[in-house]
Amino acid sequence: MISDKQIMRILVDRAIEETPVLDMHTHIYTPCFGDLLLYGVDELITYHYLIAETFRYTGMPYARYWAMSKKEQADFIYQTLFIEHTPVSESCRGVLTVLRKLGAPVGGSLNSIRDYLKRFSREEFVDKVFELSHVDRAVMTNDPFDEQEHAVWRSGYVADRRFVPALRLDGLLVYFEKNVDTLVRRGYRVSRALDETTFAELRRFLEDEIGRMGAVYMAVSLPDTFRYPDDSVATRIIDECVLPVATRLNIPFALMIGVKRQVNPGLLLAGDAVGKTAIESIERLCADNPRTKFLATLLSRENQHELCVMARKFRNLLIFGCWWFLNNPSIIDEMTRMRLELLGTSMVPQHSDARVLDQLIYKWTHSRSIIAAVLKDKYADLMDTGWPLREEEIRRDAGLLLGGAFEAFLKLRFEE
């Protein structure tokens, strides 16, 4: 006879499998952005996570790698990580999951894989990836200071319901000085002096960009050394511009904190590391701005428990994802358990951070199975209490965890 718990486990797998994902942070783009949308096996293999892993096994000068064509780089990484070594790391396994799901010859030569993938047109490939990953919508990272991207927003942008815009603020909060001239060229009366006119113009800039894009949140990635408040440009622009605009438009301000930029510049994008940050910055922001909504993800494993506790204290804080170096099965498992135990379903267990379209497939295949495994354990404990767990509850939870909690947060309005 099949037990209640066995039935529950089948229902959980089914619910997690069948629930479409709203992926709240990626680096992929609507097809109208042209070559900003990365896809295909050469991009997949030259993902910066794999570049860092490749250099573990070679004495080759970094510059020689960067001088190669994309195809040569992919050949080199494939040879190093998949042929000369066993591809057991999470990033390597990810490539293989993508290939398997696409029906490509896993274990074959890279050329045979390239040949296989030629059967898809770009358009077919985009459809195929969304179908295989069962992602309904993916939130982009839209940098208003990227000239190539900006040109498309000004003309040629074609909305695609699967891609949701989000306004990235690194250019304002981290690299303000560098971008003053661009802002002036675009007709904003700003100056490095950070006077009242500049703040008013920056608010106008933010509202223009959010309006043009239809951005659902503003976001910034910050170093582990970030402190709020302090006497930095970032604090001043956050106080005078970002918070008022976020509150007025009722859209969240997403903080992604903990990157140690360029500890090894030779690796370029793969050269960033991690550092623990001071949770007090988030505490202050949430406590002082109860009507403003914050999203947060921290890069250091050491910050995860206190971040959960912070979310228990502030309803205007929604924590999300297992970011970058945390996106490994053992850590996702641990973080998802802790978050469910401390926050129930009022959190977003995962985002993909996909830089290459194809990565939606593996990031969600791998994460779905961990989320399902954790849920099964939690439900088994719940059933032991005598709680009559129903299938509707399982489906409701799957919906919340795979995007519903984020969507509900977007709609929330905090009145004081």
Query: What residues line the site for Zn ion (CB under 5 A)?
Result: 353
- For Zn ion, the closer of residues 53 and 353 by Cβ is 353
Binding-site member from 53, 209, 353, 358 for ligand RAT (CB under 6 A)? 353
- Residue 163 makes contact with ligand RAT by CB under 6 A: no
**Hey, which residues between 275 and 314 contact ligand RAT (CB under 6 A)?**
none
Q: Which is nearer to ligand RAT, 51 or 81 (CB)?
A: 51
With the CA atoms of 208, 213, 215 and 218 taken in that order, what torsion angle do they form, in degrees rounded to the nearest 10? Answer: -50
Is position 29 an interface residue for ligand RAT (rule: CB under 6 A)?
no
363 binds, among Zn ion, ligand RAT, none (CB under 5 to 8 A by kind): none
Shortest Cβ 220–ligand RAT spacing (Å): 9
- Taking the complex as a whole, how short is the minimal distance between the CB of residue 256 and ligand RAT, in angstroms? 6
Per CB under 6 A, 71 contacts ligand RAT: no
Nearest residue to Zn ion, scored by beta-carbon proximity: 353
Query: Please, which of residues 100-129 interact with ligand RAT by CB under 6 A?
Result: none
- The binder of 97, among ligand RAT, Zn ion, none, by C-beta within 5 to 8 A per type, is none
Q: Is 53 in the site for ligand RAT (CB under 6 A)?
A: no
359 binds ligand RAT (CB under 6 A): no
CB of 25 to Zn ion, least distance (A): 6
Shortest distance in whole angstroms from residue 323 CB to ligand RAT: 6
Q: Work out whether 221 is an interface residue with ligand RAT (CB under 6 A).
A: yes
In whole angstroms, how close is the CB of 87 to Zn ion at the nearest point?
23
Burial class (CB in 10 A: 0-12, 13-18, 19+), 83: exposed
Q: Is 355 in the site for ligand RAT (CB under 6 A)?
A: yes
55 touches ligand RAT (CB under 6 A): no
Residue 171 or residue 244: which is nearer to Zn ion going by CB?
171
CB 311 within 8 A of CB 317: yes
Residue 324 in contact with ligand RAT, rule: CB under 6 A: yes
Binding stretches for ligand RAT (CB under 6 A): 27, 141, 221, 256, 269, 324, 353, 355
